[in-house]
Structure 1
Amino acid sequence: MDKKTEELRDIFMDVTDEETVTEKQAETHGSLGSEEKVNERLRDVIEEMRGRYDFGTSLSDDELATVVRQFSAGKEDNEIADELGDASLGETVFRARIDLHLFRESDTDAPFDIADLKDCLVSEMSVADCADQLDTSESTVRRYQRIIEAKDEARSVNQQYTNEFENILQDRELSDRMTQDIQQDGLEDATEGMESNVSF
C-alpha cells in the first residue's frame, strides 16, 4: 500500500469512526448549535412573555419551546400535538400558539366578519351580547377575541417575540450549515489530489 493510499484510508477511518465523529459534532455545536442552548434561549423568551402577558396555556416551557420549533418547521397544530405525545392536544396547541404570538392566516377565518367582533370589543359589549349579535356561541367569541388581543399585543411590541424566536432558530440552522460546510471542505482539502481508485 503506497503512502497516498494509507493517508486516504486513515482519513476514511477517522470520518467513519463513530466516537470521533460524535466528539467533533459536540465540539462544533458548542455555542450556537447545541440543542440545549437553543432550548434555553427559547425558554428565556417564553419566560419573559409569561411575565408580561396572561398566558392561558397549560403547557410547560419545554413544551412551549417544542411548539415554537414545530410551528417554525411548518407543522399544523394537530401535528404539533402528536409531537407532544398527545393527538388530543390540538386545541391546547392552538391556545399556546396564540399566547406565543405565533399566528397563521387561517386564525382569523371566523364564521362572521372579524371587524364586527372588533366593533363589539370596542363597544365593551359583554361576551353574551356579542355572541347574540354575531349569531354565534360565546366560546367562539372568546376564541377570536383572544386572537385579536394577542395580535394587538404583538403589534404593540413590533412583533418582538416572534422575531426573537425566528432569530434563535435561524442561528441554529446557520450553525448546522456552517458545520456541514466546514466538515465537507475539510474532507475535500484532505483528499484533494489523491487517487480515488484505490483498494483496501
Structure 2
Amino acid sequence: MDEKTEELRDLFLDVSEDGTVTETQEETPGSLTDEQPEDERLDDVIGRMEERYAFETDWDHGSYRRLVRGFFEEDSDAELAEELDVDEASVVRARMDLHLLRESDTDFPFELRELRRLRTKETDAEPAEELDADEATLDRAICVIETQDEARTANDRFRDEFEEIVTDGDLSTQLARDAREDGLEEATEGMENDLSM
C-alpha cells in the first residue's frame, strides 16, 4: 500500500463508525447463459410438447432430459437404451415424440415422398405391396413422416430450443476456458523463461 492509499484508509477509518474498509459482496457473479437452470429449461420445453402433442412414450422428465442431451452428444440409440434401461425401440419412439430425428431415420428401401403420395392417393393397393416393404418397415416410415410433419408445422422450434439449451452450457464452459487461457497468455506475454534442468 502506498503512502496516499494509507492516508485515505486512515481518514476513512476515522470518519467511519465501522472498523472495516471492505464491503461483503452481495450479488453472485453473472452467468454467460440464462439464469434458469438447464434442467428447468429442458423441462419447460418437454412440458409444452406434452401439452401440444400426444406422446406415445410415457417417460419421466429426467429420462427425456437424458435423451435430449445424449442426442446432441451423438450417443447412439443403443447406448441411450442401455443407460436408460429401456429397449432401443422406446428410445426411437421417444426421440420422435421430441422431434429429434437422425439422418439415418429416413433411410428406407423406398422414397418417403412415394409413401406420402400413396397415403394421400385413393387406391385399392396397399402401400406395403406397392413399396414392396413389410408392415414393420412401413410403420416406422409412417412414424418418421408424421414426426417430420409435426416438426415442420412447428418450424423445428422445439428441436432448436433443445439444441440451444444443451449447447449453451457447452458454450459457457468454452467461453470461460477461452477467457482464462487468454488472460494467462496476456499475463505471461513477454516473460522470459530461464529454466535449467
TM, length-normalised to structure 1: 0.69
Matching residue of 1:7: none
Matching residue of 1:106: 104
SS at match of 1:55: coil
Quickly say closer, same or farther: Cα 1:190–1:152, change in 2 above 3 A: same
Quickly say closer, same or farther: Cα 1:188–1:122, change in 2 above 3 A: same
Quickly say closer, same or farther: Cα 1:168–1:125, change in 2 above 3 A: farther
Matched, 1:162 2:163: no
Alignment of 1:1-200 (within 5 A): 32=33, 37-84=37-84, 86=85, 89-123=87-121, 129-184=126-181
- CA shift at 1:101, angstroms? 1.2
Query: Could you list the runs of 4 or more consecutive aligned residues of structure 1 that deviate by over 6 angstroms after TM superposition?
Result: 27-31, 186-198
SS at match of 2:37: helix
Quickly say closer, same or farther: Cα 1:29–1:64, change in 2 above 3 A: farther
CA offsets 1:42-78 (integer angstroms, 9 cap, x no match): 1110111111112112322211111110110111111
1: CA distance between counterparts of 2:37 and 2:188? 34
2: CA distance between counterparts of 1:146 and 1:28? 46
Percent identity between the aligned chains? 42
CA offsets 1:123-179 (integer angstroms, 9 cap, x no match): 3679x9322333333232221111101111111121111111111122111211233
- Name which of structure 1's ranges 42-51 and 181-190 shifts more when overlaid on structure 2: 181-190
Structure of higher RCO (CA pairs closer than 8 Å, 6+ residues apart): 1
- CA shift at 1:90, angstroms? 1.3
AA partner of residue 178 (structure 1):
L
AA partner of residue 104 (structure 2):
S
2: CA distance between counterparts of 1:77 and 1:29? 37
AA partner of residue 93 (structure 1):
V
CA offsets 1:18-62 (integer angstroms, 9 cap, x no match): xxxxxxxxx77968389x911211111011111111211232221
Structure of greater Rg: 2
SS at match of 2:33: coil
| Ranges in structure 2 where 5+ consecutive residues have no aligned partner | 1-27
TM, length-normalised to structure 2: 0.70
